[in-house]
Structure 1
Amino acid sequence: MDVYALVGPSGTGKSHRAVLLANKLGAEVIIDDGLVITGSQIVAGVSAKKQPTRIGAIKTALFTEVEHMKTVIEYINRIKPAKILLLGTSTRMVDKIAERLILPVITEYVYIEQIASEKEIRKARRMRTQHSKHVIPAPTIEVRKSLPETIINPLQVFLRRKGYQGNKGWLEQSIVRPTFTMYGKLSISQGALRAIATHAAAAVPGVAEVKRLNIIRSEQEVSVEIEVILDLTSKINETSRDIQFRIKEYIETMTGLTIKSINVTVAGVKVQEIV
């Protein structure tokens, strides 16, 4: 197994370029901020961005928690990748990660200055300091599973290098706002979720009234139970599907939470009075 490391100070754009470097090196696995990413999936680990403090985030990134460390070691031993790319703020940090995960000695250190210009690094620092945003090298849906209550935006990376033949699926990344920024931890109340779902359902053509709505929430998933009155002219099956689609779209887009199920009950139909 060959182990590579991408090294650079915090906020210099390492995660943004990790997928491109991994693809160039032929590394199947990226380890970044406590997460193990293979291809387009977060397959193991715990994100440092879930921690409420910077100290907690550093400990997570260094795999100091025993169960976290064991889970990642077991995954790596199971898939036996030929090459791994580690990300860290210093050679000491990536050496420590390699040691804790019982990986071979790092084959090569790649410094951010080798693959990014001064202008690009300044831009990355500005994104971190002014907007408190950090890139996780995985698709939006994968990041949502790991960070359900963090503000998430997709980032499409387009390669302009002529003749590039890489896996285009690796080029989709996500920008997150860490929970330990000046914005504090993002908490979404049950009332807010009910309001979003009610608004979404009421906007569906054919819905006359939302009679009852219940939100059942686990740590990362939301189930919705909704009872509606439809217009007499509505097609029940089609309108019910539209309600499910609209609620799912609104909640997942506005909150980053994942919808587990949406159960729609049609309690009756409304007959318009003839004047």
Structure 2
Amino acid sequence: MRVTFLIGSSGTGKSYQAMNLASQRDIRYIIDDGLLIKENKIIAGKSAKREASRLGAVRRALFMDRQHQQKVIESLEKEKPEAIMVLGTSRKMVDIISEQLSLGEPDHVLWLEDLVSREEIELAQKIRKQEGKHVIPVPALQLKKDFSGYFLNPIKALRSLGKESGSAEHYKSVVRPTFSYKGHYTISDGVIRSLVHYSFNQFSEVQPVGRTFVQNSATGLEIQLEVRVAYGVSIPKTLEKLQQSIIDEVEGMTSLHIDQVMIHVRKFQS
């Protein structure tokens, strides 16, 4: 297996640049921040950015947890990658990761400062310092459950590291880790119910009846509600549109992940 190290100080834009650099060097697998990533898809691991403390994040990124480490090793044995890139903030860090995952010595060691301009690095550092934003090189959809309730924004890298026109686009997600927050916030079930009812504004043929129930789970929200439907409309098509409207409204306003929306038809309206 061909191993490449990409090293750069914290907040300099390693994760943002990694997918384009890996593509240029024909590397399909990346180890970044506790995750094993294959072409924009998480194969194994848990993001260090979801840890509650910086110490916990460091331990997660270094695969110090035995169970976490073993799952990633098993995935590597199953995938058998021909080449892999390991990201870290120092040579010591990538050496530890390589040892923990039994990757062996690197074939190439790259320093981000030699690959991108000083202006790009300074901009990345400014965003990290002022806004607490971090990048994970996978689509936002794959992260929504792990980062439910936290800042999450999908982006496309259209140009970086001299990317040529016509090359494949790489998806990335901007998150604000738990440990970067300076406080906490909560969103009451009453607010969720209000957003659900607001979704009915564009559905004159469907009206809510009774109470809307909101259940919190480990992976997101479960919403249950009862409705009355106008006689003569297509119930499956109408309720599918209503479900999607509720999901868009609640997730768009709160960033909370919706596991499911259960709609029960109680009666018809004339």
TM-score normalised by length of structure 1: 0.89
How far the C-alpha of 1:221 sits from its partner, in A, is: 3.5
Aligned position for 2:153: 153
Q: 3-state SS of the aligned residue for 1:146?
A: coil
Q: Read off the aligned partner of 1:122 and give its amino acid letter.
A: E
Q: Which runs of 5+ in 1 are unaligned?
A: none
Q: 3-state SS of the aligned residue for 1:12?
A: coil
Aligned position for 2:37: 37
- 1:215 pairs with 2:214: yes
| 8 A contact 2:208–2:225 mirrored in 1 | no
Q: Deviations over 1:52-94 (max 9, x none)?
A: 1111111111111110011111111111101111111001000
| 8 A contact 1:47–1:60 mirrored in 2 | yes
Distance 1:212 1:41 in 2: 39
Q: Deviations over 1:23-68 (max 9, x none)?
A: 1121111111111111121111011111111111111111111100
Q: CA, structure 1 residues 209+149, in 2 after alignment: closer, same or farther (shift >3 Å)?
A: closer
Q: CA, structure 1 residues 189+55, in 2 after alignment: closer, same or farther (shift >3 Å)?
A: farther
Q: Read off the aligned partner of 1:54 and give its amino acid letter.
A: R
How many residues are paired up? 269
How far the C-alpha of 1:266 sits from its partner, in A, is: 2.2
Q: Read off the aligned partner of 2:13 and give its amino acid letter.
A: G
Q: Read off the aligned partner of 1:51 and give its amino acid letter.
A: E
Q: CA, structure 1 residues 143+227, in 2 after alignment: closer, same or farther (shift >3 Å)?
A: same
Q: Read off the aligned partner of 2:192 and give its amino acid letter.
A: L
Aligned position for 2:20: 20
In the TM superposition, 1:240-251 aligns within 5 A as 240-251=239-250
Q: Read off the aligned partner of 1:219 and give its amino acid letter.
A: A
TM-score normalised by length of structure 2: 0.90
In the TM superposition, 1:34-113 aligns within 5 A as 34-113=34-113
Q: CA, structure 1 residues 163+112, in 2 after alignment: closer, same or farther (shift >3 Å)?
A: closer
How far the C-alpha of 1:186 sits from its partner, in A, is: 5.7
Q: 3-state SS of the aligned residue for 1:147?
A: coil
Distance 1:22 1:261 in 2: 36
RMSD of Structure 2 on Structure 1 (CA):
2.2
Q: CA, structure 1 residues 209+202, in 2 after alignment: closer, same or farther (shift >3 Å)?
A: farther
Distance 1:165 1:194 in 2: 45
How far the C-alpha of 1:208 sits from its partner, in A, is: 3.4
Q: Read off the aligned partner of 1:197 and give its amino acid letter.
A: V
Distance 2:77 2:235 in 1: 52
Q: Read off the aligned partner of 1:149 and give its amino acid letter.
A: G
| 8 A contact 1:30–1:36 mirrored in 2 | yes
| Matched-pair identity in % | 35
Distance 2:164 2:8 in 1: 28
Q: Read off the aligned partner of 1:224 and give its amino acid letter.
A: I
